[in-house]
Every structure is written in C-alpha cells, then in structure tokens.
Structure 1
Amino acid sequence: MKTIMIIDDEPLIRRGLESMIHWEDMDCRLIGQAASGEEGLLKIREWKPDIVFTDIKMPKMDGIAMMKAVANEADPPVFVVLSGYNDFELVRAAMRLGAVDYLMKLNLEEEELIRVVKEASERVADKRKEPVSVPPSYDFKEHFLKELLRMRQDKEFYRKMEPQSFNLKSGASYRLLVIKLTELPDEQWNQSKLSQNFLINICKEQISEDVEVYEYHLEADTFVLYIESGGVLSKSVLISQCEAMELAIKKYLNQEIRIGISTPHHNAMHLPEAFEEALQSIAFHIGGVNTRIHFYMDLLNTHYLEKQVDHIKSETDLFDAIENFLLQLQKFITQRATREEAVHICYLLITQIYELDSNSKPFFIRWFGKEYTSVRDFSSEVDLAMVSTWVLRLEQGLNSFSQEYMGEIYRYKVKKAKQFILENVYQKVSLNQVAAELEITPGYLSRIFKKVTQQSFSDYIAEIKIEEAKKLLLQDNNRVYEVSSKLGYEDPYYFSKVFKRVTQMTPSEYIARN
C-alpha cells in the first residue's frame, strides 16, 4: 500500500483532496498533512511518504524549494504539484525536478485525481523495482494548449513563449472545435464535474484514434477540443465524427450541442486565431439552419449566407440574429465576395426585413434616403468598398433602432429576472428556470441579460448568493457547509470556489477578517 501526504496552506484544498476519492480502493493510505513547505519538509523526512501532493506557492518555503531540499536525499517521494492558473513557469520548474504531474486547484476533479494517483503509484512501483532512478519525461502540450488559450489576449506572454515546446510535428495540422450546449445547464450540472467530464469523454471517444486530442474547459456549457493529425483532416471525416458526438450526447445526457470548427492551422502560435474562428462559427450561427456543425470557411460561402437570411425570421431575437448575420456579411465582402454577390445578399436581407415588418420602409428612407425596392437601387454602390460601407450603415441604423425601441423591453425582462433571483436566493436558480418563468428562451434571456447589465447571468446569480452568504457567515456561528446548503449549493467545495472567485478570499478568510 502506498502512503500519501498532502501539503497545502489552504485547509479547504487539503480537505477536498482527502475526501474526493476512496484512497483505500486505490491501494493508498493517507498518513498526514502539512500547512507549509517548512512543516512539509520535516514531515517528509520523518514519515517517508511514497507520494506527496504539494502546493507550489506557500508562505516562507514554497513547493519548489521543498522539492529541491529533498531531491538529493535517499529515496525521495514522488511529487504531484497543485497549481493555480498563473503558475505556468513554476509548474515547468516542478516538472524538471521530477514531479510526475500537476493538478489545477480550481478545477480539481475526481476523475483527474484518480488518473494522477494511478500515474504516481506506477512511478512508485517502478522506483521499487529499479534502484537507478530514471528522469521522468513529460509532454507539455496539454498544459501549453491551456495556457495559450487562457492567455490569448496577452501579447507579452506570446513573446515569451517557446514555440518548439509545443512540439507540433512536421507536416501536422490542427483544428480547434468549440462545443457548446444549446441550453445552459442548471446549477446541478455546473456543480457536477463528473457530468462535465462525461460529456468531454463522450466527445473525445468519437474522434479517430490516429489523432491527438486535448480539451480545455472554457465555461460550464462550453469547452474546446484541440485535434491534431499528421495531415489535414477532411471536412467529411470531421462532420462524421461531430455527428457521432451529437448522437451520443443526446443519447446519454439528453443534451444538444452546437460545434464551431476552425480552419486547419500548422503553427502553434496561431492557436488564438483558430480559437476565434471556432468561436465565430458558433456566434454567427442563426437558428433554423438544419446542421448544428459550423465550419469557419462556410461563413464565407454565398449559398450558406442565403440560407442564413432565409432563417432570420425564425429567431426569437431578430436584432441579434441580423447583427450576427451582418458580421458574417462583412467578412464575406472583405475576403472573397464579388460586388454582384455582395449586392445580391444585401438585397435578400432587405427583402427579409420588409417581410418581417411592412412598416420598415421609413427606416431605410431615414438611413439611406431610399426604399430599396429592387437590386437596381444598389447601383450607386459601385464597388465592394461602398457595399461594405452600406452594410456598416445598416448595422448602425439597426443598433439605433434596437436601443430606441427594444431597450425598454430588454430592461423590463432583465428587471423581472433579477427580481425572481432575489426572491429565490435560498433556492437553486438556473437560467432555464428563470427563462421559463419569463416565457422566453434561455438563450434569449442570456443575451439580453448580458446586453443590459454587461454581466453574465451566472455571474449575477453568484454575486447575489455570495452577498447573502457573507451575511450568513457572520450570523449565529454558521458553518461554511451550512451556509452552502442554505443557498442551494450541494457541494461546499464548489461553493467555496465561487465565494473566492467573487470576493477574492475563501469563506474562512472572510470570517477571520470580519
């Protein structure tokens, strides 16, 4: 049986690791904990654990210094490091010192912990068989992918990157897939890492075995798949695999997804560009088009745009639908359209707007000085640049109209949503539940909430609940798990993560300071 020790200055992390899995089932036994590097070093020397889970950043002596201190001692333990989102360089240093793997503290998951324990146990078994230690090898690609996507807006980070570290094979290409649940899951899903992992694993299982696949969890309802192959994966193969994902997720989770797919790329430094392509493929999707699989290159296709125009009228939020379409149209004009193609699509859009609202002619007269009753009315737009300017003006006009006539409606619905959340602060509250109360779709509520408040729906719920939690934590000696339960959080660990995200401190730290 392998002996385990946990070293972290956060009690919540230590308790979380301790209780997340059944250690005995994995032939492991917890023999102790430490709250600092100094204490950890003393206990490692005293207890001689086989495996040590240690935080990287701790007061006085950090995890790196502690690992260095025992590196040359007889039979040092196998280390697994616990890191935060900004600990990239420290993780690399720990790997050089022989750490077998790392765990992200804010994304601590049962399945991932089990995997790492197995890996560490195998390393212990190897050490027992072979007296000569073998330097561990470690593939940084998954960590690099997560850092590249997380830091995609940080140009300084990119200047410091070592492209060769990503190890993209010669002649290989990759695509990014952004996979999004069409209806935002409820709070129970958000708290269940197992459900989210199950969804990711279902998707990965549908991908061919001869390609590399890594995932990056973006939000509760959205994640990214990185798919790398020796050549260029064909569109037909990707469609087949994505359709298999759709069917499996519908069968096992009763959820539906949309998938945005980037163009093929051959350079690791193009990851942010590939990510934006995949995101845009989903963002520009307009409901009603039969497929839920959207390739970035399709956004630049005339026939595809014609279908998008035809389905605008099926959208709940017409202004959002038209705004998304205009973004596609601008890209189409600037990258590959002829003047005739651009004019054709513009006129189809005008016709659709007229069909949606027979009183829209004054709008065009106000913004363009004419009604546009035929394609000939575009004769003054003599080149693509002028057509592009026309599209921008249409977008400005629609934005003005939306703010003038729809703003009050949006604000009223958001006000009702906030009221419902406040009245049910001690219950589980989900986007689907509030949308049903307001008799609108979850997607529509999510968009108008962000538009009116400049804040996501889930962030607002978190803020309201945590404000209430702050009051409860200082009343009647309430314990953290009691407050968590009162506010509808089944998992105290998840509640503590939300609390720290909102307040920048743990519940225990908040109590101590107040």
Structure 2
Amino acid sequence: MWNLLIVEDESIVRLGLRYMVDWETLGVYWKAEASNGEEALRMLDTEPIHIVMTDIRMPGMDGLDFAKQVKMKYPDVQIIFLSSYDNFAYAKEAIRLGAIDYLHKPTMDEREVAGAIGKAVALLADTPAQQPTLTGDERNLYLLSLLDKYTIPGNPSLAELETEEFQQGYWLTAFRKRDDAVQAGEDSGHLKFLSVLYLIEEYVSKDWGGVVFHRDFREVVWIAPAAAKAGGIGHSERGKYLERLRLKIFELLNAPLIYSSSSLYGGLEQLPDAYMEVLLQLPVHEQSDNLIVRKSKAFVDNHLLEDITLAKVAAEIHVSPGYLSRVFLKEIGENFSDYLIRNKLEYAQKLLRDTNKKVYEISAEIGYTNPHYFSKLFKERMGLTPLEYRNR
C-alpha cells in the first residue's frame, strides 16, 4: 500500500473525498489528513507518505508554496492538486512544480480521482528506491500474516525477504520464554521481552542475517536465510548456533527460553508450512519441564513449611545434589536455593498480611529456627523488615 495524505481546509471536502472512491482497491492507504500546509509538513516529517492531494487555496501557506517545500525535502512524493478555481495559471504552475494532475473540485468525479491516483501509483512503482513504507507495527502485522495460510496474501512480498541472501531458501525459528520461569510484573515483563527481542535481532544480524519480529510480545520469530553471513556455519551447525544464542540471552538477561526451528524452505508461500513445523516441535504443556525438576518442585510445594535442603530433595528423587542443582538452573533459570527462599518468603508475606502471628512464630512455621536470620533474609530480599512490611 502507498500512503496518502490529504491537505484540505474544508472538512466536508475531506469527508467527501474519503468516501468518493475505494482507496484500497487502488493500492492506496488513507494515512493522514491535514487542514493546512504547516500541519501537513509536520506530518510528512513523522509519517511515511507517498502521495499528497492538496488544495491550492488554503489559509496561511497555500498549496503551491507547500508543494515547493515538499518537492525540496521529499522529491519522490507524488502531488495531486485540487482547486475550486478553473484557472489556467494555477494549472500551469502546478505542472511546473511537478504535480501529476490538477483536479477541479466542483466537477471532479470518482473516475478522475482514480485516474490521478493511478498515475501516482505507476510513477511510484517505477522508482526503484521508492517502496511502500510500513511502520514498525504495520511491518510486524504483515510478517505475522505470512505465517498463517488463512491470512497470507495471494502474492506475498517483502523486500527484506527477497534479497540475494534468501535465494537459496530460508528456515524459521520461534523463541518463547519458559512458562514456569520466574514471573515479572506486567510492565517489567513487557520490557524484558523487548530486551530479548532486540538482543536476538542484534545477535543474528551480525553473522546470519534475516528478519526478526514478534507475536503479541510473547514469541520471537526469526526467518533466516539458508546460509549464514559468517563462513563455517552450515546446515549442521544451526542447532549449535541456536543453543549459543539461548545461552547468551540467559547470561545477559537472565531470560530462560525454549525454541524450535524448521527445515529448509523455498518460496514465501511456504512460510505457513515452516511455521507449523516449528509449532509442532515446540515442547507442549509445561514447556519441556525436565521430569527431575517437576518432581523437585512438587516436593518443595508439599514440604514448604519444613527445613528443606537441596540434598534432601535430591535424595528424595534419587539424583545427586550437584546434578539437581545444574538441571534446576538450566530448566528454570533460577538456583534451587533462590527458588526455595522466594517461595518461603512469599508464604511469610501472606502470614504477615493475614494473621497476627509473631515474627518468630512465622519464622518457625516456614522452617527457619533462627528468627534473626529470617528477619535478615527477609530484609535482604524484600527491602523491609518483617515488621515494617506488616505495618506499611
């Protein structure tokens, strides 16, 4: 779609134009409206605009002065003039400024408007450097539409996916945060996801390339060319590359991810098949929770008020403490001891809020025989002493 800006001081004229023709069938998106030249110039500085339809006579800056400035700053923008006056001098000046058409408002009809837009679209399509520009959100939505056989366009096209690097095909990977990882608040979780998205994009752009986008701020999708930019990274190395990326994200952002990747595909019309292959391979239910971790978490939940240690849990599920510690950190993204303390202190907060029990009673109830140690630990983790937390 090519973005259209209407510059017209009469709101009734703008309204009439909007519904005079079916813009989308002409390949045009009604992007913005302005009531004068100054406002329109500000819009051009912030919005990707390809076609401008502007009145010649407006208060303040008139259409001719406005067009001169547009052509100086944005020479590829196509301009169509509107006028209530059938004045040859205006038309002559409009043509000199590079306008592609001059429409007489009192007599113009749907056919004339469509014809003028057709000229603009044809000129834009013939300009190699000028392609329809999408905002970040529009680009993301378009890329998502390519992943579903019910929404993919009839002739899918995106310049980023039609470069030389994609001539040998592509493969697709989806990354998701583990459902059972430490949960953050809504705002911080959103920011954490964006950090993961940007890090993946930066990491892959250096040595592999491709396109990175997201689904609802829950999943990162990477469409990668068949061959990496850097030498020595071939088909058999993809798994190792993805694992290095996963570990890098965990190391820098403490964000445990799971991922799945597809085999090699060719045309863009096969993107839904590639994405479906990825979804079928993604771990389901508790997202590949290791059986050992599931058992250890269940034991902690059932014995939270007792004096639990890593060694006790390891003995209960018949593994070594060292192995349990490594697996727990890998699967959950949190040390076993931190997981245990976090759950105990969350329970202590509930008791402080909902009961009148003394601090030493709560300490003993959750398995800490030394109330001073409990108070110190509580303040280190929560920033308040137990009494301060209760009385705030």
TM-score (normalised: structure 1): 0.32
- Tell me which of the two structures has the higher relative contact order, counting C-alpha pairs closer than 8 angstroms and 6 or more residues apart: 2
User: Higher Cα Rg: structure 1 or 2?
Assistant: 2
Higher helix share: 1
